[in-house]
Structure 1
């Protein structure tokens, strides 16, 4: 078995190796700010003439560098540089990390630094800083203790995790395509074509939930019933929840059992209008409205209706302290009254949703809270 050796990370890397100087040859730059990348997914670049660029546009990167935001590490603004444009410049809000490749594989280090345990540790350091907001210094990363195997084994481990990354990206892309196909058909049948309408509350049962008393800790200890909070309504199928509650908690609160494939809509606060389908029987809190599917109005239609209505719910939200909608307001919104059309639509798109659900199950087994459900030492050794 190959021996793993421990180092201070600073022995194996160079931080902030390259910065714009008077010899910089480009008059226009492609700029990446810290808020424009999350978990290696770039939202957008900005383009500037060099004299008009922000003062933070100073850091230069090269192939296989790692960029890691020094502010609030738990916001996950990090990335791995592949095929950079020659005029790419990143914010000084990043620390750029260049590996000494004769000892340390860059992709191995990238996966090491983006483990939940490392992110949480760095965020703890950032919160203890004396600046106005949680922030790191390059020395904080350089001071990390890291245990690494020989270089070839590092490459093997990085390749295994990279293949999982590719699988995850493929599943996300397939889900996006499947949902887009169903949404296109929904718009054609129920938005672009004029059909008679009826109020949602006249044809679909709705309900909400409740929060079991936090004073009774036993309600939340060893719970087996998924309990949905509005902030969790951010994907097509919700497979599991952050917290679980006991049967006694349901019996002694306003929480109610909701059937599988109920469509949930967030009613309060910053999450107003967010939506999801529950993959199995669950409960929810009072900030969530549940639409219970039935034979005439199945979950596929209700989910895409909720998606189409999201902007409208945001516009209807009101309240002094925070933006809210009510269950009554949701029930007043129009849905298609042509039951035969809704049923026919369901028969066409249900296979899309079944595949979506299968993909979400796979994704759940591959990822957990943005990290991998294993440690490096659990991977195959060379």
Structure 2
């Protein structure tokens, strides 16, 4: 591998995106996934799902363009430097750039090289309101000239780690889906209780010993807050994970983008919430639910939730998710932009504490396995992120 002799724009063609006219119904809800930054925030190599989709007509009547398999998407405005690879045809908005590897450059290598250069890209941002990178930015970021063989070897090492991470994520998603199905089987369809006595209620027939109540009867709601961002004492060299909505990445949250200090924790309205506390995002990205994998604080765009004695965190985890789905449906297609404390006053069926205890015993193994796999992924991510700069700089020899 040679010295510095190239810039990023020697390796990729940079193309801009766009948004079809939002008032034109025929442009939306089609078969073409349409990317915005929120779709690919987080530690995932490929982006498979998008919140919105467009039609062929929307594609043809706007400045958005199609990206194809193994092209790359990068966020360019506001949140700069989020990256993902494209698994199949997708369009994208104007807050992103599509990056198409040139010639024989290995697309996976280019993706990892860009990950290594994110800090350099962020240092080149412009804009008075939003941090922004432009197409010209890619012509200012220097990189070494890597042979095709070096590209292939580096990409192979890092891709093997990401493949294992992705496989683990798939296993965890399947485990969550199974656990969710068990929750529905017990607390929506009442299958384990079918042979027992049922009584009538304002919410329909329910097993004897259950009652009608409010979500707030089984949970305690707790606030978040942010220490003053202009005070270095609260942030510099912080070691306390500080959660924001973009950190949701599965059942458990293991790592956060930001950290605060003890002084910062003492100067904000968030407590330090222990493992298995439930966090729900309530502003911006609304209604994402996760458990925390270690002690964490959180910002004011979230609520922390703890089950009241007699009800388990695992039961409440799925209960809160089901109530959020209901709230979103009740918004009748309008933008569901915030969850307030009064939304948690939703009427629910409250099962007997014995039913919750039995359910928790059944479900406990699922959560233990999800946590163990998530812990392994944290180690794999750390290994990948440690190897990345050393491989790219040539500090680590790439084996034959």
TM-score by length of 1: 0.70
Q: Give the SS at the match of 2:80.
A: helix
Partners of 2:241 and 2:297 within 8 A in 1: yes
Give 2:357's aligned residue. Answer: 343
Unaligned runs of 5+ in 1: 18-29
For 1:296 and 1:189, the matched residues in 2 are separated by: 17
Partners of 1:230 and 1:288 within 8 A in 2: yes
Q: Give the SS at the match of 1:296.
A: coil
Partners of 1:122 and 1:136 within 8 A in 2: no
Partners of 1:70 and 1:95 within 8 A in 2: no
1:13: how far off? 4.5
Q: How many residues align?
A: 344
For 1:380 and 1:157, the matched residues in 2 are separated by: 10
Q: Give the SS at the match of 2:284.
A: helix
For 2:66 and 2:242, the matched residues in 1 are separated by: 45
Q: Give the SS at the match of 2:109.
A: helix
Give the superposed CA RMSD: 4.3
TM-score by length of 2: 0.68
Partners of 2:252 and 2:293 within 8 A in 1: yes
For 1:148 and 1:315, the matched residues in 2 are separated by: 53
Which of 180, 184, 191 is the matching residue for 2:188? 191
Partners of 1:336 and 1:342 within 8 A in 2: no
Q: Give the SS at the match of 2:187.
A: helix
For 1:78 and 1:255, the matched residues in 2 are separated by: 32
CA shift in 2, pair 1:34/1:199, >3 Å: closer
Alignment of 1:99 onto 2:105: no
Partners of 1:125 and 1:136 within 8 A in 2: no
Give 2:6's aligned residue. Answer: 8
Q: Give the SS at the match of 2:275.
A: coil
Give 2:259's aligned residue. Answer: 243
For 2:62 and 2:227, the matched residues in 1 are separated by: 50
For 1:90 and 1:189, the matched residues in 2 are separated by: 41
Give 2:60's aligned residue. Answer: 53
1:162: how far off? 1.2
CA shift in 2, pair 1:288/1:98, >3 Å: closer
1:305: how far off? 0.9
Give 1:381's aligned residue. Answer: 398
Partners of 1:236 and 1:277 within 8 A in 2: yes
Deviations 1:29-65 (A, max 9, x none): x96765498454243786648x99346477797x86x
Which of 134, 138, 141 is the matching residue for 1:136? 134
Partners of 1:59 and 1:92 within 8 A in 2: no
Deviations 1:128-155 (A, max 9, x none): 69xx994633x65355422144432321
For 1:292 and 1:307, the matched residues in 2 are separated by: 14
1:4: how far off? 3.1
Alignment map for 1:67-216 (pairs within 5 Å): 67-68=72-73, 72=77, 74=80, 76=82, 79=85, 97-101=100-104, 104-113=105-114, 115=115, 117-122=116-121, 125=124, 127=126, 134=132, 136-137=134-135, 140-142=137-139, 144-193=141-190, 194-195=206-207, 196-197=210-211, 198-212=213-227
